[in-house]
Homo-oligomer: A and B are copies of this chain.
Amino acid sequence: MIERYSLSPIKDIWGLKEQYQRWLEVEVAVVRAFEEKNEAPKGTVDKILEKANINVEKILDIEKVVDHDVIAFIKGVTENMGDEARYFHKGLTSSDVVDTAWALAMKRAGELILEKLEKYADSLKKLAIKHKYTVTVGRSHGIHAEPTSFGLKILSFLAETERNIERLKTSIKSISTGKISGAVGNYANISPEIETLALSYLGLTPAKVSTQVVPRDLHSEFFNTLALMGAGIERMATEIRHLQKTEVLEAQEPFKKGQRGSSAMPHKKNPIICERLTGMARMLRSYTVSGFENITLWHERDISHSSVERVFVPDACMTAYYMLEKSIYLIDNLIVYENRMKETFEKSYNLVYSQRVMLGLVEKGVSREVAYKTVQENALKAWDERRDFKTYIMNDDRITDKINKEEIEKFFSNDYYLKNIDKIYERFGL
């Protein structure tokens, strides 16, 4: 991932030093299990930890000779050990260490993302509460439909985010799967009990059946979850992009002090964060394609998944993390123009209330057919002549004969449309 989108701490997971550290964690966890099961003398782990030394350059030097990364790692780390070295990597094959350590890396990345995702949910929640009763126009097909609450829009993003939190938790559980089962997954040189115990020390679970590697459907699921999360953010970003359009301008992404809209036009505040998020959601979608293809390995494994994962796992995780960081900033600092939201109704001449007038007539005993025709006549005029719909209604005897003007006035209030907002918020304990 390019520097620009690589944020700490998630970017630090992928360093070589950190990788060796995880390999060591795995090796030590196995020895600890040996100790526990009396397959190694008590104290072996302590001795190993005392002597184990991760010297990245030295390991790389050894690798140049032996041309095998795990062997080089073992040689480098055990160099100064005594007899306890016998228990180091005992009964393991490289993939046991590498794949289990990879699970550790993904799990840690997943947890960092989850933490941010929950913060994003908090931000959405705050904004939703703030604008619970902020009236705005609801739009279908980009066309004004009926009044609604701006908070409800945000609440819809919160609901989706909550689903994505659940999905992410499930996926983290899935990727927290290790394997210490040997070259073809049959536990020829190590017992399932040691695997279970060692993995438990690492916060991981054994794959119920592994081949040489952990089954890759678990990783594909993780990619899919990130893409779903990305799409959720894209949906939010797209809403803001729409609301920030010059003709609408009901909301605006934050502008840093001193940030300049291009050239001389001071209104040129572009929703560039939202657009960036939109692009990044595409990236997260892209990664899923390879994720799916990585599942079908040949026999007990081929290594075709490896190149993909080396690049796409860190990239997808860092992209997701970056998106959340920016989304939180965006929601926390979103500029909302409530007055413009009110003005918006005028842009469709208050026609969004037309159905309400029609229902009013029906309630007064007018047939639905006649009511519809009467209202539509006025509505068409308002639309064509581009003037306030209410004026026409107030001047139509067929209507005012049935409903007095005070009542009519009420039809043009937004309370009717927000009367169930409380109940929706209650679903979130809000």
Contact = CB atoms under 8 A, between A and B. Distances in A.
Interface of A: 1-2, 4-5, 66-68, 93-94, 138-149, 152-153, 155-156, 158-160, 162-164, 167, 170, 174, 182-189, 191-192, 207-212, 215, 217-218, 220-221, 224, 227-228, 231-232, 234-235, 238-239, 241-242, 244-248, 256, 258-260, 262-272, 275-276, 278-283, 285-290, 292-308, 310-312, 314-315, 319, 344, 347-348, 351-352, 354-355, 357-359, 372, 375-376, 379-380, 383, 416-421, 423-424, 427-428
Given A140-B299, A267-B351, 9 more contacts: A140-B270, A141-B272, A142-B242, A145-B268, A156-B210, A209-B424, A227-B292, A246-B348, A264-B372
Contacts of A375: 264
Contacts of A141: 241, 270-272, 275, 298, 301-303
A349 to B, nearest CB: 8
A211 B297 contact: no
Contact of A269 (B143, B174, B418): B143
A311 B300 CA distance: 32
Contacts of A348: 246, 265, 267
B423 A295 contact: no
Contact of A298 (B139, B186, B293, B302): B139
A276 B267 CA distance: 33
Contacts of A265: 144-145, 348, 351-352, 354-355, 379
A142 B244 contact: yes
A420 B427 CA distance: 50
25 contacts: A5-B310, A67-B256, A67-B258, A94-B262, A138-B300, A139-B245, A140-B299, A140-B302, A141-B298, A142-B246, A143-B244, A144-B246, A160-B215, A183-B263, A187-B423, A231-B296, A235-B296, A247-B347, A263-B355, A264-B376, A275-B306, A276-B303, A278-B304, A279-B294, A286-B312
Contact of A296 (B212, B234, B262, B303): B234
Contact of A301 (B140, B153, B319): B140
Given A5-B311, A66-B260, A148-B186, A299 B355 contact: no
A39 to B, nearest CB: 15
Contacts of A163: 174, 215, 217-218
A43 B61 CA distance: 55
A278 B162 CA distance: 28
Given A221-B167, A244-B142, A290-B282, A156 B355 contact: no
A162 B224 CA distance: 19
A397 B279 CA distance: 46
A131 B401 CA distance: 48
B266 A351 contact: yes
A423 B192 contact: yes
User: Which of A153, A247, A418 has the most CB atoms of chain B within a 10 A radius of its CB?
Assistant: A247
A91 to B, nearest CB: 10
